[in-house]
């Protein structure tokens, strides 16, 4: 992707949020938004300051921060420890509705026969990685881009055997999961609950899988902010890349908050009582 060096790293819509940060709720993708893409999901690099930054955002927004990720929530926890944020995983099929709480499975695991058929595709070409993800299964082809068309054909045939499942495309990944679930459905579910209810949703994402949540945020009167990369062009994005997202979030978190919160023993954030000290 070629970017105009004179273009701002953070667009005007994102800058406008910094002028009036009150009353918002943040919904954040991880890969390609908070973290740079990596050759494989387990090779991503997490900046040491990122967990603390996310914790500061939770404080700033009275807890109204959630991760909407294609990863399993347990995977996100490993990356961002010690935080255990409110989160939706595997495109809406996993949910943790409270910081530090249990993870609920909203859809059953992918059927064994379907999982086996997808797993067999791992041998089609060197560099293909098959990742089982509970209710979904992903085929990464970043190291075998020439295999994409064949993989799409074979995965479509597998999906056609069960009307309850759909094929999703992402950044050098193809994924089968249950229909009726998405990051958009996850945003809608969380936005109806405290601490998100009544706040203006802000979704930040970079990929095809984020589009349903970007649309849902706008449908609810919120803001959809796009990150430039392999999916969104620089001309149509609000952020030049991951660094610009993190810089924006750092500035956002630095805005003073009138509602102090403290962190509990499990990494959860909760509002401090009057006087600012937790008992």
DSSP secondary structure, 252-275, as one string: HHHS--SS-EEE-TTS-EEEPPTT
Answer whether 214's CB lies under 8 Å from 224's CB: yes
Determine whether 29 is an active site residue.
Answer: yes
Which of these is catalytic: 29, 31, 206, 210?
Answer: 29
103-105-106 Cα angle (round to 5): 130
Phi and psi at residue 110, to the nearest 5°: -60, 140
Is residue 1 helix, strand or coil?
coil
- Sheet order of strands, 173-178 included: 129-133, 136-140, 173-178, 165-170
Pairwise CA distance, residues 44 & 181, whole Å = 26
Q: How far apart are CA 265 and CA 271, in angstroms?
A: 14
**Strand partners for 86:** 66
Q: Which two tokens stand for residue 228?
A: 């430039």
Backbone φ and ψ of 65, nearest 5°: -135, 130
Q: DSSP string covering 155-222, please?
A: HHHHHTT-TTEEEEEETTEEEEEETT--HHHHHHHHHTSTTTTTSEEEEEE-SGGGHHHHHHHHHTT-
Query: Rounded to an integer, what distance in angstroms lies between the CA atom of residue 251 and that of residue 272?
Result: 23
Active-site residue list? 29
């Amino acid at each position: 992707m070629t970017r105009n060096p004179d273009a701002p790293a953070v667009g005007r819509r994102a800058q406008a949020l910094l002028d009036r940060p009150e009353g918002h709720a943040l919904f954040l993708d991880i890969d390609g938004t908070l973290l740079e893409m990596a050759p494989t999901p387990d090779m991503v690099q997490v900046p040491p300051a990122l967990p603390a930054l996310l914790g500061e955002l939770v404080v700033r927004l009275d807890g109204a921060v959630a991760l909407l990720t294609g990863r399993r929530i347990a995977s996100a926890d490993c990356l961002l420890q010690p935080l255990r944020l409110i989160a939706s995983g595997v495109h809406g099929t996993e949910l943790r509705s409270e910081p530090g709480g249990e993870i609920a499975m909203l859809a059953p695991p992918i059927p064994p026969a379907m999982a086996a058929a997808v797993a067999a595709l791992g041998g089609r070409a060197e560099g293909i990685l098959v990742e089982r993800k509970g209710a979904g299964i992903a085929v990464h082809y970043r190291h075998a881009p020439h295999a994409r068309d064949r993989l799409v054909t074979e995965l479509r045939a597998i999906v056609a055997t069960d009307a309850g499942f759909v094929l999703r495309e992402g950044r050098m990944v193809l994924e089968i999961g249950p229909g009726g679930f998405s990051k958009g459905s996850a945003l809608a579910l969380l936005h109806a609950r405290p601490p998100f209810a009544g706040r203006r949703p802000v979704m930040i994402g970079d990929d095809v899988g984020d589009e349903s949540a970007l649309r849902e945020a706008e449908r609810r009167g919120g803001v959809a902010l796009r990150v430039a990369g392999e999916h969104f062009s620089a001309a149509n994005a609000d952020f030049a890349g991951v660094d610009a997202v993190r810089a924006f979030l750092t500035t956002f978190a630095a805005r003073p908050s009138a509602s102090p919160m403290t962190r509990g023993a499990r990494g959860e954030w909760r509002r401090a009582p009057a006087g600012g000290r937790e008992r």
